[in-house]
Structure 1
Amino acid sequence: MFNVGAAAWRGDRTGQCVVRDAASSPGISFALIHAVPRAEMLQLVRSGATVVLDLHLPTDQPGIFLSCRIDLCFQDLSRLRRSFHQAANHRSSALAIAGMTLLLAVCGWIVGGTEGVHRALTGGAPRQDGSAIAHETIFRWFGARLLRPAEAPGLFSILVDVCRRARLSRLPDIYCLPAPSQMNAYALGGPEGAAIILTEGLLRGMTRDEIAGILAHEVAHIRNNDIWTMSWAAALHRSIEWTSLAGLALLRAQHGCMAVSPSLAALLRAAPSIAQLLCLALSRTRELDADATALELTGDWQALIAALRKLERHHAGFLVPSAAARDDGTMRLLRSHPATSERVGALLCLA
């Protein structure tokens, strides 16, 4: 809030006094000026790589205005846009987790009141384990082979650069899955112990810059601890399934041959499906946030978009036109990943 008074400003008789607040922002300056045309009260001008916003605010002195100029470079605008995007994604993730937690609490209350709520919530969260994943486990699960830096120096050079930008304290292990006809990448674990699995087909079919974008996306999942978040969501979903089944059995036992409460029974039947939709929504949100973080880590939006489109062509078998690639609301709710057109649109906005 500003209390604009010309008497508080010291200047010569022409009122030309410039004040620059370097402590808060060197890109903001103030000046007392004479009357300006109404059409110039608010101006937004692009000057080279800078956007200049001019505001002219009336003061308590007739004909004297306070001119406020804000200089923003395109890099500042892009950083601000990414900050808003990240905040929106985090808010969406929090709402999805909160919705699942509330749903689990309601199911627990139906089963056992306050004690049922406590038991349901206690069993609904997994234990976080930051230890590294054993090589034998990765091979047993996926059949993937651990890569050494000497085998793929270029790949590890990209990984080191991306992890340095992401400020990871430990490099994730890289595994190659012998699947020449597949193009996929997976991230496992958290910041203290992670692994990235790349298929042989992806390593052969992507350019260096595209691989850098894919690695940055997986490193973003690791840095953002998305694997833990989705594990938490999966645990909540399982708890909701078991609790809703227990609640339905309890309602039938209590009512016997009498009609079961329709509203409670309907809620318990729908709870697992609602939880699944919230899990999918959370997954889509984390994917969009990983894309935004990957753009922050590489700065190469062209390579990221090229990699996404190449993956879409590979999995769909043909290039889907952008208009046809847009899902309606119902289909979008059933996706674990946003449509490629949505991801490309978000990257273009952030770029």
Structure 2
Amino acid sequence: MNYFRTAMLLAAMTALFMFVGFLIGGTGGMMIALLFAGAMNLFSYWNSDKMVLRMHHAQQVDERQAPELVGMVRTMAQRANMPMPKVYVINNPQPNAFATGRNPENAAVAATTGLLNTLSKEEVAGVMAHELAHIKNHDTLIMTITATIAGAVSMLANFAFFFGGSRDNNNPLGFVGAILMMILAPLAASLVQMAISRTREYSADKMGAQICGNPLWLASALNKIAGGAARIPNPDAEHNPATAHMFIINPLSGERMDNLFSTHPNTENRIAALRNMASEAGMTASGFASQQQASRPNTGPSVPPSNAPKGPWGGEQPKRPKGPWG
């Protein structure tokens, strides 16, 4: 059902884009708009992941720099039967994470230092599993396409304001219609984009819980991330709000309600769904607590130097120049 709903929303976004093009230039304008959207999507297909990672100053890490995190992602990727993505760390105190990439073979996951320093290993495993679910479901590509089309709709609507009111073109709405289109078309595109994002989050929560093996790990992580995101600002996200839908929890201030204008579902609703999933599987909160002590994901080999500085989870890491975790 989620895939069908996503397909319908994508069709609505494309139809809206072509409709705006038609109002500007008739059938010819509609075709030009379609070609323009195709060119933008092609550019985004090849470059969006690099652009997003650069916007948030993400630094790629390997097993020498972040052995536990990279080992954990590798374990989760093996469980999900998918290629190992690149792993990035963002030097930001707000706990959060996102995934990007055009397909599972060319993907990356990024976690903030705030997430690594705040969450337990089990909770980080739940978050990484959620992001891998986005990659496996091709959500990163879907969201890139919708963000690109939404931006193109806004550009066309602004174009219509300057040229759509002329008597010499094919716009049947005139100048007043051009003003309305400039206001309503971007709003409609944003609403569709947000609806797609929210649909994909629920699907990624469910698959992520299956990948990590315990829905309560992700539920606990969402609770902590939401609390941290509400208290700790994310300047890079505030400067690039178009990337907010990519994060596991909305990194922007002031958008916490589950309404049409939210890029993410209400966190409490997501947690409730995960707890119901755990309950159906016979897992309990006390069981989660005992699993935190007795059952930990395989995070790869540890690094044994005796005088090494402490890492983000309290483990020892090799001496090296100052890296993304400070």
Normalised by the length of structure 2, the TM-score is 0.68
Structure 2 counterpart of 1:283, from 188, 192, 197: 197
5+ residue gaps, structure 2, are 233-254, 279-326
1:60-100 superposed Cα distances (whole Å, 9 cap, x missing partner) = xxxxxxxxxxxxxxxxxxxxxxxxxxxx2212211221111
Q: Which amino acid aligns with 1:243?
A: L
1:98-143 superposed Cα distances (whole Å, 9 cap, x missing partner) = 1111111111111222221111122223016468967xx7875433
The CA distance in 1 between the partners of 2:231 and 2:180, in whole Å, is 41
Look up the match of 2:95. Answer: 183
- What is the DSSP-based 3-state SS (H/G/I as helix, E as strand, rest coil) of the residue aligned with 1:194? strand
Deviation at 1:315, TM superposition (A): 2.0
Q: Residues 261 and 177 from structure 1, CA distance in 2 versus in 1: closer, same or farther, beyond 3 angstroms? A: closer
Aligned 8 A contact 1:212 1:298 in 2:
yes
Q: Residues 265 and 176 from structure 1, CA distance in 2 versus in 1: closer, same or farther, beyond 3 angstroms? A: closer
The CA distance in 2 between the partners of 1:139 and 1:284, in whole Å, is 22
Structure 2 counterpart of 1:220, from 116, 133, 137: 133
5+ residue gaps, structure 1, are 1-87, 319-325
Q: Which has the higher contact order (CA 8 A, sep 6+)?
A: 2
Deviation at 1:153, TM superposition (A): 3.0
Look up the match of 2:207. Answer: 293
The CA distance in 2 between the partners of 1:246 and 1:138, in whole Å, is 26
Look up the match of 2:219. Answer: 305
The CA distance in 1 between the partners of 2:222 and 2:167, in whole Å, is 54
1:124 matches 2:73: no
Look up the match of 1:339. Answer: 266
Aligned 8 A contact 1:230 1:283 in 2:
yes
- What is the DSSP-based 3-state SS (H/G/I as helix, E as strand, rest coil) of the residue aligned with 1:344? helix
Identity level (%): 30
Q: Residues 275 and 165 from structure 1, CA distance in 2 versus in 1: closer, same or farther, beyond 3 angstroms? A: same
1:142 matches 2:56: yes
Q: Residues 254 and 327 from structure 1, CA distance in 2 versus in 1: closer, same or farther, beyond 3 angstroms? A: same
Look up the match of 2:286. Answer: none
Deviation at 1:296, TM superposition (A): 1.8
The CA distance in 2 between the partners of 1:265 and 1:146, in whole Å, is 45
Look up the match of 1:274. Answer: 188
Q: Residues 132 and 284 from structure 1, CA distance in 2 versus in 1: closer, same or farther, beyond 3 angstroms? A: closer
Question: Could you say what the CA RMSD is over the residues aligned between the two structures, in angstroms?
Answer: 3.0
Look up the match of 1:163. Answer: 77
Normalised by the length of structure 1, the TM-score is 0.64
Q: Which amino acid aligns with 1:309?
A: N
Total equivalences in the alignment? 250
Q: Which structure carries more helix by proportion?
A: 2
